[in-house]
C-alpha cells in the first residue's frame, strides 16, 4: 500500500455511500447495516474522491481550501488506509 | 436480521453523551408486517404475534419515515415478517430514498421476482440481506418448514444481476452449526459480499425452542475454527461476521448499545420499541406512532427513557466499572431468565443468576449429538420434543 502514487484516482468503494448528516454534523460512510462517522479531515478528503480527481489534485484542492501546504503525505496515508478498508476503489 | 447493528462511531458517541440529551435514533427498523411465508423455529418475532393489531397503512409508514429522518435516523431496515408481503414496499423504498436513508431490505427472498427486484432498484433500495437456513435444500426446507431453498438460490443470482451488495444471513443453532463450512462455500459460490453467521439469540420463537436449538460448546468451537480456516483459505474475499452465542460468554453483549441509545423499532401495528424484542418487558408503556410523534417517542416517552443512563441498574452492575461498556447486557434476557429486567444480564459471570445460563448450556452438552454428520440430514431433528415452528396457528396455541 505504501506504493500508492499521486496519480491514482480514488472513488468511493462499491457498496459504500458518502453522505453529509446534519444531525451528526459530520460526513458518514454508509454500507450494508453499518455506518462510519468520519472526522472532519476524513470527510474533506473523501468528498473529493470522485474517481476523476487524482490524489495530487485532491491534495491541491485541500491545500487551497485550508490555505496550507504539505498535505500530500497525510492524504496518501489516508487513501491507503481507506483503500485497505474498501472505502475507496482506485479507478 | 442482524441484532447488533454495526455502528462503531455512533457507539462511542452515544456512550459519551449518556447523561445529556440522547443522540439521534440512527438505526430505524420497520417491521412492516408479521405475515411471513416461512415458519422458522428460531424467529425473533414475538411468539404472540397473532394478537398484534392491524398493520399501518402506506401513509402512516411514510409519516414514520419522515419524522425519523428529521430526527437524524439514517440506516433503515425494512423487515418483518416478510417485508415483500407488503405490496406498497416499492412506494416506501422510494420515499425513504428521497429522504436520504440507506435502505436495507431484510428478506427471506420469497416474493422477490425479477420485476420486483428491478423496481426496488429503481426506487433506490441500497442493499439486500437474504436469509438462508442451511447449506442444503433438505435442511433449509426443514428448518424453515417450507420448500424455499431453490427459490432463495435464484433470488441470490438476481441480487447479483442487479448489482446490489449481498449479505447472506444464516442463523446458527444446534441443528445447522456443524455445516458452517458448507454454508460458507455456498455463500462464496453465490458471490456474497458479506456473510452473517448469527448464532441464535434466545427470544421470541427461539426462546420456546431453546432446548432443541442450543449448541454444545464443542460445536461452537468447531464452527469458529471452520470460519477462521475459511477466511484464510479464501484470503478474506468475503467479509464474514461470526456472531458469538452469548450463552457461552462470561460478559454480556452491549445490547442495542443500551436501550434508547441508537435503535428504534416500529412493529407492524405502530408500536414503537427501543429494541425489537422489548415488547415483553413489563412496566414499560410503549407509545404508538399513530398517536405520538417520533420526537415524543424518542425523547419524552417513559418506554425509551426508563433504561437510559445507569440509574435503573441494580448490583452488581450499578458499581461495576464495566457498565459503561456493556450497559448491563440485555434487558430482555435479564427479564426472561430472572424475571426482573433491571437485573444484570445473567450471561455475566458476576451475576448471581449466572448459573441459569451455565445450566442451560450444560443441558446442551448432555443432549444427544445433533447434525454432527458432514452431510446434512433431516435425521438431525430432535425426537424428544418437537420444534415449534412460527405460524399464526402456533402463536394462537401458545397465547390463547
The pLDDT tens digits of the residues spanning B19-31 come to: 578 999 999 999 9
Mutation target among B21, B69, B71, B75 for the A interface, most CBs of A within 10 A: B75
Query: Which residues in chain A touch residue B77, judged by CB atoms under 8 angstroms apart?
Result: 33
Residue B239: all three cell numbers together: 467479509
- Cα distance between residue B195 and residue A33, in whole Å: 12
- Residue A2's pLDDT band, with cuts at 50, 70 and 90, is low
Q: How many Cβ atoms are within 10 Å of B185's Cβ, its own excluded?
A: 14
Residue B369: how many CB atoms within 10 A of its CB? 12
Which of B14, B74, B97 to substitute to test the interface with A, most A CBs within 10 Å?
B74
Residues paired with residue B265 on neighbouring β-strands, in sequence order: B29, B273
Residues of B in contact with A21 (CB under 8 A): 72, 74
Q: C-alpha grid cell for residue B297?
A: 417517542
- Using the beta-carbon criterion (under 8 Å), do B100 and A33 form an inter-chain contact? no
- Asked if B279 contacts B52 with a C-beta cutoff of 8 angstroms, the reply is no
Local structure of B105: helix, strand or coil:
strand
Give the dihedral sign, CA A85/B126/B330/A28. Answer: positive
Residue B394: band (very low, low, confident or very high) from pLDDT cuts 50, 70, 90: confident
The pLDDT of residue B216 is above 70: yes
Euclidean distance between CA atoms B76 and B127, whole angstroms: 10
Candidates A18, A26, A33, partner chain B, best to mutate (most B CBs within 10 A): A33
Helical axes B331-338 vs B354-366, angle rounded to 10°: 80
For residue B110 the three cell numbers come to 420469497
pTM for the predicted model, two decimal places: 0.89
Say what percent of chain B tops pLDDT 70. Answer: 91
Torsion of CA B184, B187, B192, B195, to 10 degrees: -40
Smallest CA–CA distance, residue A40 to chain B, in Å, is 13
A34·B9 Cβ contact <8 A: no
C-alpha to C-alpha distance for B314 and B334, rounded to whole angstroms: 12
* Nearest residue in chain B measured CA to CA from A19: B100
Tell me the average pLDDT of chain B.
Answer: 88
Please write the tens of the pLDDT for every residue from B317-369.
999 999 999 999 999 999 999 999 999 999 999 999 999 999 999 988 887 65
pLDDT at A1 over 80: no
> Residues B238, B187: contact at Cβ < 8 Å?
yes
Q: What span, in angstroms and rounded, lies between the C-alpha atoms of B144 and B142?
A: 6
Chain B positions contacting chain A at CB under 8 Å are 2, 5-10, 13, 23-24, 26, 71-72, 74-75, 77, 100, 102, 104, 126-127, 129, 165, 167, 193-194
Model confidence pLDDT, tens digit, residues A18-75: 999 999 999 999 999 899 999 999 999 999 999 999 999 999 999 999 999 999 999 9
* pLDDT (tens digit per residue) in B162-204: 999 999 999 999 989 999 999 999 999 999 999 999 998 888 8
Do residue A33 and residue B13 have CB atoms under 8 angstroms apart?
A: no
Helix residue ranges per DSSP H, B272-353: 294-295, 302-305, 323-326, 331-338
Distance CA A50, CA A12 (A): 7
Q: Which tens digits make up the pLDDT trace of B83-122?
A: 999 999 999 999 999 999 999 999 999 999 999 999 999 9
Predicted confidence (pLDDT) at residue B10 exceeds the cutoff of 70: no
Amino acid at each position: 500500500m505504501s506504493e500508492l502514487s499521486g496519480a491514482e484516482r480514488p472513488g468511493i468503494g462499491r457498496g459504500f455511500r458518502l453522505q453529509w448528516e446534519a444531525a451528526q454534523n459530520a460526513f458518514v460512510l454508509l454500507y450494508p447495516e453499518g455506518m462510519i462517522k468520519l472526522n472532519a479531515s476524513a470527510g474533506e478528503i473523501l468528498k473529493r474522491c470522485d474517481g476523476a480527481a487524482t490524489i495530487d489534485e485532491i491534495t491541491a484542492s485541500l491545500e487551497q481550501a485550508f490555505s496550507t501546504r504539505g498535505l500530500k503525505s497525510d492524504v496518501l496515508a489516508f487513501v491507503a488506509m481507506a483503500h485497505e478498508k474498501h472505502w475507496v476503489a482506485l479507478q | 436480521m442482524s441484532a447488533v447493528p454495526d455502528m462503531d462511531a455512533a457507539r462511542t458517541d452515544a456512550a459519551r453523551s449518556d447523561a445529556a440529551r440522547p443522540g439521534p435514533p440512527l438505526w430505524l427498523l420497520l417491521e412492516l408486517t408479521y405475515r411471513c411465508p416461512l415458519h422458522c423455529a428460531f424467529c425473533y418475532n414475538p411468539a404472540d404475534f397473532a394478537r398484534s393489531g392491524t398493520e399501518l397503512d402506506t401513509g402512516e409508514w411514510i409519516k414514520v419515515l419522515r419524522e425519523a429522518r428529521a430526527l437524524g435516523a439514517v440506516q433503515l431496515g425494512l423487515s418483518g415478517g416478510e417485508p415483500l408481503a407488503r405490496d406498497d414496499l416499492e412506494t416506501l423504498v422510494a420515499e425513504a430514498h428521497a429522504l436520504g436513508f440507506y435502505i436495507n431490505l431484510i428478506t427471506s427472498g420469497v416474493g422477490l421476482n425479477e420485476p420486483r427486484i428491478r423496481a426496488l432498484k429503481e426506487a433506490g433500495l441500497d442493499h439486500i440481506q437474504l436469509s438462508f437456513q442451511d447449506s442444503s435444500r433438505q435442511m433449509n426446507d426443514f428448518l424453515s418448514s417450507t420448500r424455499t431453498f431453490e427459490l432463495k438460490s435464484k433470488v441470490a443470482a438476481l441480487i447479483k444481476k442487479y448489482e446490489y451488495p449481498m449479505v447472506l444471513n444464516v442463523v446458527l443453532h444446534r441443528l445447522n452449526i456443524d455445516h458452517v463450512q458448507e454454508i460458507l462455500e455456498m455463500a462464496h459460490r453465490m458471490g456474497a459480499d458479506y456473510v452473517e453467521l448469527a448464532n441464535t439469540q434466545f427470544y421470541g420463537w427461539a426462546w420456546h425452542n431453546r432446548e432443541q436449538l442450543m449448541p454444545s460448546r464443542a460445536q461452537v468451537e468447531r464452527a469458529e475454527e471452520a470460519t477462521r480456516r475459511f477466511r484464510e483459505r479464501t484470503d478474506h474475499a468475503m467479509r464474514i461476521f461470526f456472531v458469538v452465542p452469548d450463552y457461552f460468554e462470561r460478559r454480556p453483549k452491549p445490547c442495542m448499545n443500551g436501550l434508547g441509545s441508537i435503535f428504534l423499532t416500529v412493529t407492524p401495528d405502530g408500536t414503537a420499541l427501543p429494541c425489537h424484542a422489548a415488547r415483553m418487558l413489563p412496566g414499560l408503556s410503549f407509545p404508538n406512532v399513530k398517536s405520538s410523534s417520533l420526537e415524543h417517542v424518542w425523547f419524552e416517552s417513559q418506554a425509551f427513557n426508563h433504561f437510559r443512563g445507569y440509574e435503573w441498574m441494580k448490583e452488581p452492575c450499578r458499581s461495576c466499572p464495566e457498565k459503561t461498556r456493556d450497559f448491563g447486557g440485555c434487558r430482555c434476557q435479564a427479564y426472561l431468565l430472572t424475571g426482573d429486567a433491571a437485573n444484570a444480564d445473567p450471561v455475566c459471570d458476576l451475576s448471581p443468576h449466572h448459573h441459569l445460563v451455565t445450566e442451560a448450556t450444560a443441558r446442551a452438552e448432555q443432549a444427544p449429538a445433533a447434525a454432527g454428520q458432514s452431510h446434512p440430514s433431516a435425521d438431525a431433528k430432535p425426537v424428544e420434543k418437537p420444534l415449534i415452528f412460527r405460524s399464526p396457528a402456533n402463536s394462537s396455541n401458545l397465547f390463547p
